[in-house]
Amino acid sequence: MLTISKEHITLGVRRNGDLVRGPINLAAEVHLFGQEVNPETWAVSKSDLFMKSTDGRDAENIAFGTTLSNDRHAKTQFDYLIANPPYGKDWKRDEAAVRAEHERGAAGRFGQGLPRISDGQLLFLLHMLAHMKEPEKGGSRVAIIMNGSPLFTGDAGSGESEIRRWILENDWLEALIALPEQLFYNTGIATYVWVLTNRKAPQRKGKVQLVDATSFWVPMRRSLGDKRRGVPLEKAESIVTLLRRFEEGEHVKIFPTTHFGFRKITVERPLRLNFQASPERIARIGEETAFRTLAVSRKKGAAKEREEAGGRAQQEALLAMLRSLPAATVYKDRDEFERALSAAARGVGLKLAAPMKKAILSALSERDETAAVCRDPGGEPEPDPELRDTENVPLAERVEAFFEREVRPHVPDAWIDTSRRDPKDGEVGIVGYEINFNRYFYRYTPPRPLEEIEADIRGIEQDILRMLTEVTGGGAGGDVVKR
């Protein structure tokens, strides 16, 4: 990648020089740097550069070692950075060093967030961004090829989402280019080129360009592993032309950076329960921890037996008290049932501790949409964990307006949990970023007419019957097929 990039740079300068009149010297001075963890690949790269460079300086700049835990170019900034990191490769070997650098925050390469341990692609991207020059020093441009996972993996607040957030809120993502499948020797999956820079042109500021180049390929004469397609020079130039023009069209979409952001809000609905001291529900109290532990002792010997016997007596007293409640009565108000329960306990001289009371309420209750709302001591509705849901609100929209339009008409008793706020801006909802690339270039293909499908089915049935007739040799077999 490095040597071919150098050839493209020098060739491009010569082409530009041909268009300039006068004795202007446009010779480019290109210095290559790299790092490789595989010893064989590192040796081949170093040997190649020794042969192609006159002074051997480029070869000396190719360092050996793992990039994530041992950055061999730690204090160097670059004008251009390119990489093709391994897809879906875990970073367990470098975990200790990576997490230590993450703890350094902005002083380290990985302070913005950590992706899941099974995929380190975004760590390589963070590594490259840490080596960009400051804009006042000319800035840098970055290109990295990754699979689709870094675009959308990870929920709001996750390491992956926080990395995307940091990139987009700094307005560094210039373009995403979807490449054809089956381009690589060892995988046929979809891949994407991320183009990033901290020196965006004025017309690109605050925007991201999506380029769908999935159809820009030709079949190879002979497959090489999973590589069955290639991108010839003319199609590659067409992709670059689309990138440079920065105009929307069949293969290009342009969005503001905030388009890919959202706030994940938590929507709560009230808890509604009915209560009944029926035999079936009373039997469920045996599954409650607070009830079971009454007959469990940590003591030893005779003291253990006495304590467990006392606990079993308490259990029997509790069950008898619950059976004294009217079994046919269904209470649809928790406060009313608690009053009845307290009265029954006082009547037999029992004092219900908070854990036991909670166990009884749990065993004797069932969800009931027609029941009254359960409320906390302050009079506020208690949320039902089973009805809890989330909504993703676009960043460009107010959370309250979205809720009133999209949620309230369907669940009038719902509310937003305003205690769940983004740790960075303090607003309601956790901010997340994702880029679902295929969504923006989806083309609806209507199904074929039903008559055409039926004709195909009839044709297939006739083919099957004909083959069965041939297998059975006709005659009796043919008669069986006809019947």
Assess contact for 217 and 260: CB atoms under 8 A: no
- Across 5-14, 287-296, 418-427, the highest mean pLDDT is recorded for 418-427
Residue 443 lies in a domain: no
Verify that 297 and 344 share a domain, yes or no: yes
Model confidence at 15, in pLDDT bands (50, 70, 90)?
low
Half-sphere exposure of 166 (CA within 13 A, CB side): 20
Which pLDDT score is estimated for 474?
59
Which pLDDT score is estimated for 482?
44
Model confidence at 299, in pLDDT bands (50, 70, 90)?
confident
In this predicted structure, the answer to whether residue 414 has a pLDDT above a threshold of 90 is: yes
3-state secondary structure 52-112: HCCCCHHHHCEEECCCCCCCCCCCCCECEEEECCCCCCCCCCCHHHHHHHHHCHHHCCCCC
- As a whole number of angstroms, the distance between CA 30 and CA 349 comes to 91
- As a whole number of angstroms, the distance between CA 209 and CA 6 comes to 26
| Element (DSSP H or E) covering residue 162 | helix 159-169
The residue whose two tokens read 């305003």 is: 418
Residue 220 lies in a domain: yes
Which pLDDT score is estimated for 54?
74
Model confidence at 19, in pLDDT bands (50, 70, 90)?
very low
In this predicted structure, the answer to whether residue 21 has a pLDDT above a threshold of 50 is: no
The whole-number average pLDDT for the span 256-285 is 97
- Picking from 259, 282, 314, the residue at the C-terminal end of a domain is 259
Verify that 234 and 278 share a domain, yes or no: no
Write the pLDDT tens digit of every residue in 314-330: 999 999 999 999 999 99
| Element (DSSP H or E) covering residue 354 | helix 354-363
Write the pLDDT tens digit of every residue in 87-107: 889 999 999 999 999 999 999
In this predicted structure, the answer to whether residue 27 has a pLDDT above a threshold of 80 is: no
- As a whole number of angstroms, the distance between CA 410 and CA 188 comes to 43
- As a whole number of angstroms, the distance between CA 243 and CA 195 comes to 10
- As a whole number of angstroms, the distance between CA 22 and CA 353 comes to 96
- As a whole number of angstroms, the distance between CA 271 and CA 476 comes to 70
In this predicted structure, the answer to whether residue 8 has a pLDDT above a threshold of 90 is: no
Where is average pLDDT lowest: 122-131, 253-262, 287-296? Answer: 287-296
Verify that 107 and 177 share a domain, yes or no: yes
Angle between helices 121-129 and 159-169 (to 10 degrees): 30
The residue whose two tokens read 């083959």 is: 467
Which of 403, 325, 408, 322 shows the shortest CA–CA distance to 357? 322
Write the pLDDT tens digit of every residue in 335-372: 999 999 999 999 999 999 999 999 999 999 999 999 99
Model confidence at 13, in pLDDT bands (50, 70, 90)?
low
Question: Does residue 19 or residue 352 have the better pLDDT?
Answer: 352
Verify that 253 and 120 share a domain, yes or no: yes
Where is average pLDDT lowest: 1-5, 207-211, 371-375, 387-391? Answer: 1-5
In this predicted structure, the answer to whether residue 235 has a pLDDT above a threshold of 60 is: yes
In this predicted structure, the answer to whether residue 479 has a pLDDT above a threshold of 80 is: no
Assess contact for 393 and 405: CB atoms under 8 A: no
Phi then psi for 36, rounded to 5 degrees? -140, 135
Q: How many helices (H) and strands (E) does the chain have?
A: 17, 16
Residue 473 lies in a domain: no
- Picking from 340, 367, 394, the residue at the C-terminal end of a domain is 367
In this predicted structure, the answer to whether residue 379 has a pLDDT above a threshold of 50 is: yes
Residue 382 lies in a domain: no
- As a whole number of angstroms, the distance between CA 148 and CA 274 comes to 48
Verify that 356 and 249 share a domain, yes or no: no
The whole-number average pLDDT for the span 18-47 is 77
Residue 412 carries which DSSP code?
T
Residue 372 lies in a domain: no
In this predicted structure, the answer to whether residue 33 has a pLDDT above a threshold of 60 is: yes
Model confidence at 7, in pLDDT bands (50, 70, 90)?
confident
Go through the chain and tell me how many residues it has: 483
Write the pLDDT tens digit of every residue in 137-185: 999 999 999 999 999 999 999 999 999 999 999 999 999 999 999 998 8
Phi then psi for 370, rounded to 5 degrees? -90, -5
Domain count for the chain? 2
The whole-number average pLDDT for the span 55-71 is 92
Write the pLDDT tens digit of every residue in 184-210: 888 889 999 999 999 999 999 999 999
The residue whose two tokens read 């690949």 is: 41
Verify that 280 and 219 share a domain, yes or no: no
pTM of the model: 0.84
In this predicted structure, the answer to whether residue 55 has a pLDDT above a threshold of 80 is: no
CATH number, position 96: 3.40.50.150
Which pLDDT score is estimated for 471?
87
Residue 362 lies in a domain: yes
Where are the extended beta strands (E) located within 341-403? 365-367, 389-394
Verify that 190 and 303 share a domain, yes or no: no
Assess contact for 121 and 85: CB atoms under 8 A: yes
Question: Does residue 305 or residue 92 have the better pLDDT?
Answer: 92
Residue 397 lies in a domain: no
Residue 481 lies in a domain: no
**Looking at beta carbons, which pairs linking 385-390 to residues 24 or more positions away fall under 8 Å?**
387/268, 387/269, 388/266, 388/267, 388/268, 388/269, 389/266, 389/267, 389/269, 390/264, 390/265, 390/266, 390/267
Which pLDDT score is estimated for 11?
74
- Picking from 259, 291, 317, the residue at the C-terminal end of a domain is 259
Verify that 8 and 114 share a domain, yes or no: yes
> Residue 289 CB: number of other CB atoms within 10 A?
9
Collect all residues with Cβ–Cβ distance below 8 Å to 354 and sequence separation of at least 6. Answer: none
- Antiparallel, parallel or unpaired: β 389-394 and 261-268: antiparallel
- Three-class DSSP category at 126: helix
Q: The domain containing residue 328 runs over which residues?
A: 273-367
Collect all residues with Cβ–Cβ distance below 8 Å to 136 and sequence separation of at least 6. Answer: none
